[in-house]
């Protein structure tokens, strides 16, 4: 059955993967992945962290660029008007919640930086990094699907990158928000895939280089 989006021409084409991918990891910091913190108990995000760790193992072995970020602020003065209690109270430089989850972090390999807005691109050095690496395709992972991941997908699309999203490498507070946002970006901006499919893609890219 055709829905209104399809009838209006959404999802009319697929996005093919390019020859120069990078993996982007959004906010898999301890504030979201460690049960010691208020937002660190969400099962979907823990699963996404494990699946992302598996994908990153393949990416690093294939010498694929990896960019990871965390959210932190100097004070309330430089923080946007977040409505999220834990962010307002804990996400400050030096707080343990801003540390990268060790399952996905490789300090010797990853390009790691702090961001201040939802998107991994907003006021960060990411675009310069991707251009220097001649990247044409980004694989977006992390949390949360409905928040910072979605914002990062839209900015990646806006900068002209091919955007691939492994659904199981992204997490949110519940399945409904996760699924609805993935369905929506799939209509407009991104190709939705899986961590296993992205790992196969990266292995194939490595064989060609």
Q: What is the pLDDT along the chain (209 residues), one digit of tens a residue?
A: 468 988 888 888 899 999 999 999 999 999 999 999 999 999 999 999 999 999 999 999 999 999 999 999 999 999 999 999 999 999 999 999 999 999 999 999 999 999 999 999 999 999 999 999 999 999 999 999 999 999 999 999 999 999 999 999 999 999 999 999 999 999 999 999 999 999 999 999 977 66
**Domain tally for the chain?**
1
CATH number where 167 lies: 3.40.50.850
Q: Which 3 state secondary structure label does DSSP give 162?
A: strand
Place of tokens 């209006």: 8
User: What is the structure's pLDDT at 209?
Assistant: 63
| Omega cis (within 30) before 144 | yes
Question: Looking at the domain assignment, is residue 7 inside a domain?
Answer: no
User: What is the structure's pLDDT at 2?
Assistant: 62
User: What is the structure's pLDDT at 64?
Assistant: 97
User: What is the structure's pLDDT at 1?
Assistant: 46
Question: Looking at the domain assignment, is residue 58 inside a domain?
Answer: yes
Question: Looking at the domain assignment, is residue 157 inside a domain?
Answer: yes
**Cα distance between residue 59 and residue 205, in whole Å:** 10
pTM score, whole prediction: 0.96
Domain region containing 93: 18-208
Question: Looking at the domain assignment, is residue 33 inside a domain?
Answer: yes
């Amino acid at each position: 059955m055709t829905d209104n989006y399809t009838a209006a021409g959404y999802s009319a084409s697929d996005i093919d993967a390019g020859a120069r991918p990078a993996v982007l990891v959004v906010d898999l910091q301890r504030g979201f992945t460690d049960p010691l913190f208020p937002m660190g108990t969400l099962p979907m995000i823990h699963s996404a962290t494990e699946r992302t760790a598996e994908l990153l193992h393949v990416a690093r072995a294939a010498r694929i660029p990896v960019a990871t970020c965390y959210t932190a602020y100097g004070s309330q003065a430089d923080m946007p008007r977040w409505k999220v209690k834990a962010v307002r109270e804990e996400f400050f430089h030096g707080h343990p919640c801003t540390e990268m989850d060790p399952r996905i972090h490789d300090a010797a390999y990853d390009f790691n930086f702090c961001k201040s807005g939802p998107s991994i691109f907003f006021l960060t050095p990411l675009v310069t990094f991707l251009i220097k690496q001649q990247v044409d395709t980004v694989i977006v992972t992390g949390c949360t699907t409905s928040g910072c991941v979605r914002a990062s997908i839209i900015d990646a699309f806006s900068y002209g990158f091919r955007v691939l999203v492994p659904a199981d490498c992204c997490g949110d507070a519940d399945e409904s928000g996760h699924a609805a946002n993935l369905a929506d970006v799939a209509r407009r901006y991104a190709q939705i895939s899986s961590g296993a499919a992205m790992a196969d893609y990266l292995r194939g890219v490595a064989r060609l280089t």
